Amino acid sequence: MQKLQKNCRKNNTLMATLNFELGKAKQDGSHKVAIILSHKGKRKRLPTNILVDAKDISRNGNITSRRIQKAVDDLINVYRDRLYELEVDLLDKDVDIDWIFQRLQKKAANMDFFSFASSWIENSNSKSLKNYKTMLNSLRRYTKSNVLPFSSMDVNFIEGYNRFLRDTPRAQSLYLGEIRHLYNEAIRLYNNEYERPIPLSPFTYFKIAKHVPKTKDRVVSEEDLIKIFRFEGVNRIGLARDCYILSFFLIGMNSVDLYACTSYKKGVLSYERAKTKDRRIDNAYIEIEVPDIIKPLFRKYKGKSRVFDFYTRYTNEGGFNKHLNAGLKIVAKKLGIPPFDFYSARHTWASIARNKLGIDKYTIHEALNHVSDIDITDIYIQRDFTNINRANKKVVDYFLKLLQEYKEG
């Protein structure tokens, strides 16, 4: 049995200890982790939802998975902090283990959402941390407080915050989605079949409205697309134009993936889409046959350790994307066309594929590598990228035809 002891002391006298142990093996060999509170020779079990597979347990009973061990350590730290908060009450009392156990549970009922969220952000590797921090600042402005108990976050509270954000539809969808995620994380961490210190999620009865951007505002017209293709620029402006063209002919490839991709073999570019790989069973893997029309750009920006050399020009993908959009603003101004951003290449590809070529929605959905593309049935089907590459070829051919028509015109 592994132990990680955390102590609460009274005048240097050991008052209570926390450790953990693995429960009895289930039929599949897995074990549930329990937090053990010990005091004056007595023990109390605090059940958890942490499950350890047999493959993650060594012969001597140690947890070998760093991820699971960290989850256990984090949970023990939570109870340790609650013990420290109780220390003042323990100073002048000769208390038993039941007294400590009951108050540990009551402490959880008054947990603060802001504190939990801040701790989660500090320990998370999510690429969306900046958005979470912005959401917390917005929520503090709404509450006019730095304290927000989970117990006060009912449906009425969420509806009020939703109204507070009514002038920013995207924020309504994004911020409420992030709050829901954090709330569910707290439930996953603290609630179990015996204790539910975090109340039922208010999102059980509140549906977040999905923000759908106005597609027409993000679709570049065919005439303007031709102008962008023919545009010649230097330095940042030229690079922005080139990357936009790369994205369009690579089925709306995101800037972060252009920046990071490492595999280009025999005319096929393959990568895992950063935006959705953590939410897809197949890690959002895709293979795209590179059209001849953009192969000169592959040679122009050829990298050594990655497909493109953008990583040698910009410190990170965030700076890369920022400079691309700044460059595209200048391109639009020089061409005298409506402003457009890098992401519009993706919308424009999809619009042409569907509206001009009649390509079915499922193929377009698959080509865009959306988060919900793979379901449980698809696990048993070997992925074949023939259909999406056939669709992209149709878009390329359509563009080449447009290019010829505009030349003749």
Q: What is the pLDDT of residues 247-301, one digit of tens each?
A: 999 999 999 999 999 999 999 999 998 887 776 667 788 999 999 999 999 999 9
The rounded distance, in Å, linking the Cα atoms of 50 and 37 is 17
Fold designation for 217-408: hpI Integrase; Chain A (1.10.443)
Judged against a pLDDT cut of 80, whether residue 358 lies above it is answered with yes
The Cβ of residue 57 has, within 10 Å, a number of other Cβ atoms equal to: 20
Judged against a pLDDT cut of 90, whether residue 219 lies above it is answered with no
Judged against a pLDDT cut of 60, whether residue 213 lies above it is answered with no
Query: Structure tokens of 195?
Result: 């204790």
| pTM over the 0.75 mark | no
Judged against a pLDDT cut of 60, whether residue 8 lies above it is answered with no
Cα 211 to the chain's mean position, in Å?
Answer: 17
Mean pLDDT of 179-191: 86
Nearest to 388 by CA among 365, 370, 371, 356: 365
Based on its alpha-carbon atoms, the radius of gyration of the chain, rounded to whole angstroms, reads 27
